[in-house]
Amino acid sequence: MGTSTAPQRLTPKGQATRDRIVAAAAKLMFERGVAGTSTEDVLKAAGVTSPSQLYHYFGGKKPLTQAVITYQTDYVLSVQRPLLSRLDSFEALEAWRDAVVDVQRAGNCEGGCPIGSLSVELSDHDPQARAQIVAGYSQWEDAIRDGLKAMRDRGELRADADPDFLALALLTALQGGLLMTQARRDTAALEAVLDAMIDRIRCHATA
């Protein structure tokens, strides 16, 4: 069976079925991991009775997993997009920090980052998956960098502030904080590292 992920022309019903399979797979892989999720589990959760449908839309588990990476990246960024799109002030950075912490509290500090969880499991042995995950992180990093660059361009950050460096550091701190939150089952480490990074950015403030 092939593993091509080339776009297909789908009927509205077919697209709905494909979307339902991806959503079910994303939920199960987040809860159980990729290795702990079988195609049979996915079909059952999606309410799809014929295994041939999964292979028709995806070709196998690996392309399905790639679709899940795209799904989770889109989900994470869409949830944060209202804040990421205007992450260009210290007030906005603090509001984003609060929103990230609130999401973890609402989820009982379980699961960590959907993209990060996939990265931990797949990056060492699936180069295609790793490339997708890196691309997803890059979108996230770009949104943070654009806000910091806007602050520098307006003169709120000094000219020696490096938006690329600070955005990468902030995203890396976030990922570490999410991992600690998952292990500790509290948000103390996440709050501490985000506060520390925002304070680090404040060191470049002109006022």
Q: Per-residue pLDDT tens for 71-115? A: 999 999 988 888 888 889 999 999 999 999 999 999 999 988 999
To the nearest 10°, the Cα dihedral for 21, 110, 62, 132?
110
List phi, psi (to 5°) of 205: -65, 145
Please provide the DSSP assignment of 122-151 as one string.
HTTT-HHHHHHHHHHHHHHHHHHHHHHHHH
Tally of CA atoms within 13 A in the half-sphere of 111 that contains its CB: 17
* Mean pLDDT over the full length of the chain: 92
Give the chain's domains with CATH numbers: 12-202 (1.10.357.10)
Q: Give residue-wise pLDDT tens across range 16-47.
A: 999 999 999 999 999 999 999 999 999 999 99
Q: Note the Cα 156 to chain centre separation in Å.
A: 29
pLDDT at 98: 96
Tokens linked to 44: 């059952």
Phi, psi of 93 (to 5 degrees): -60, -40
How far, in Å, are 42, 120, 136 from residue 110 at the CA level?
21, 15, 21
Q: Which residues pair with 205 in a beta bridge?
A: 157
- Identify the pLDDT of residue 207: 73
Distance CA 128, CA 122 (A): 9
Average pLDDT over residues 167-180: 97
pLDDT tens-digit map of 103-161: 999 999 998 899 999 999 999 999 999 999 999 999 999 999 999 999 999 999 999 99
Q: Whole-angstrom Cα distance, residue 190 to residue 181?
A: 6
CA dihedral 152, 158, 159, 163 (to 10 degrees): -50
- Give the pLDDT band (50/70/90) at residue 8: low
For residue 160, what is the DSSP state? Answer: T
Percent of the chain scored above 70 by pLDDT?
96
